[in-house]
């Protein structure tokens, strides 16, 4: 499995964001990627009223899903749309969903973000995701190219019990699309990604937002892929759009799990 993860600096212009994402998806596919992970808010990162307007019903035609389906079919790849607005019963609070599209552009799976980011940061910035987003409730596992992939979104990263559940469900690869704030990202991003990989003995693929966005929002970036031993295989350490790409051999997961059989030792 050759997996790519994108780094974007999405704004409030959906067309421009999709153009940038499409260009990077093409470059990743030409470089050999079979699966491409987009970051959270890849299509829209702006005022909340705009996010409600771009929300789509998953499985139905819409600008975002139609664009992603076209990329999949053109390049014969699987695309994981890291975090997009999905309509819910509350028109003012769409889900934040990670949606998997197969090489024919069909929806394979959907995960609705469970943990919502409600915090006041030391710099005075306040985020209340629950005011604009409906919370999901179920972990999601999907099979891609014969590998079992667990889905999550951004703030989920701070809750190891979700990833433990995904591992118990059979996950070998964990996807973490994010728009981590610059302050929390500098302190915790790499540490948390490596911890989740080590705890679950799984590959971790993380796509990111990086830069400055509307309403003064600043994101950390640093897209990366981590192996089941916690080693960073590839990463982006500079600003601006780009992608990381790595081969994820299944033998590495089996090797690490056999060397240290954590799942057999767990008691709680």
Strands (E), 59-104: 78-86, 95-101
Q: Which of 240, 210, 205, 242 shows the shortest CA–CA distance to 224?
A: 205
192 class by beta-carbon count within 10 Å (0-12 exposed, 13-18 middle, 19+ buried): buried
Contact 52, 94 (CB under 8 A): yes
Clarify whether 9 is annotated catalytic. Answer: no
Clarify whether 231 is annotated catalytic. Answer: no
3-state secondary structure 98-165: EEEECCCCCEEEEEECCCCCEEECCCCCEEEHHHCCECCCCCCEEEECCEEEEECCHHHHHCHHHHHH
Task: Say which of 9, 86, 113, 235 is annotated catalytic.
Answer: 113
Q: Which letter does DSSP use for residue 245 in this model?
A: E
Q: Per DSSP, what are the bridge partners of residue 209?
A: 8
Task: Say which of 72, 86, 154, 172 is annotated catalytic.
Answer: 154
Could you write out the DSSP letters of every residue in 143-154?
Answer: EETTEEEEE--G
Q: φ, ψ for residue 38 (rounded to 5)?
A: -90, 150
Clarify whether 40 is annotated catalytic. Answer: yes
Task: Say which of 40, 86, 172, 210 is annotated catalytic.
Answer: 40
Q: Which residues are catalytic?
A: 40, 113, 154
């Amino acid at each position: 499995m050759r997996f790519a993860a994108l780094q974007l600096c999405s704004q409030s212009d959906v067309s421009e964001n999709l153009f940038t994402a499409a260009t990077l998806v093409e470059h990743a596919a030409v470089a050999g990627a079979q699966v491409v992970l987009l970051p959270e808010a890849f299509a829209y990162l702006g005022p909340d009223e705009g996010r409600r307007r771009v929300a789509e019903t998953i499985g139905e035609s819409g600008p975002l899903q139609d664009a992603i389906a076209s990329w999949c079919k053109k390049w014969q790849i699987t695309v994981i749309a890291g975090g997009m607005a999905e309509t819910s019963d509350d028109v003012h609070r769409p889900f934040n969903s990670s949606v998997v599209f197969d090489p024919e552009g069909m929806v394979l799976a959907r995960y609705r973000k469970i943990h919502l980011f409600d915090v006041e940061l030391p710099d005075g910035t306040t985020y209340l995701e629950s005011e604009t987003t409906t919370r999901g409730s179920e972990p999601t596992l999907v099979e891609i190219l014969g590998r079992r992939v667990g889905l999550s979104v951004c703030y989920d990263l701070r809750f190891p019990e979700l990833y433990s559940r995904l591992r118990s469900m059979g996950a070998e690869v964990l996807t973490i699309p994010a728009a981590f704030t610059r302050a929390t990202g500098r302190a915790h991003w790499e540490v948390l990604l490596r911890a989740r990989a080590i705890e679950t003995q799984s590959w971790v693929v993380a796509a990111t937002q990086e830069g400055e966005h509307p309403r003064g929002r600043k994101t950390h970036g640093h897209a990366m892929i981590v192996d089941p031993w916690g080693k960073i295989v590839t990463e982006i350490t500079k600003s601006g759009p780009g992608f990381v790409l790595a081969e994820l051999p299944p033998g590495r997961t089996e090797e690490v799990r056999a060397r240290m059989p954590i799942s057999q030792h767990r008691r709680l």
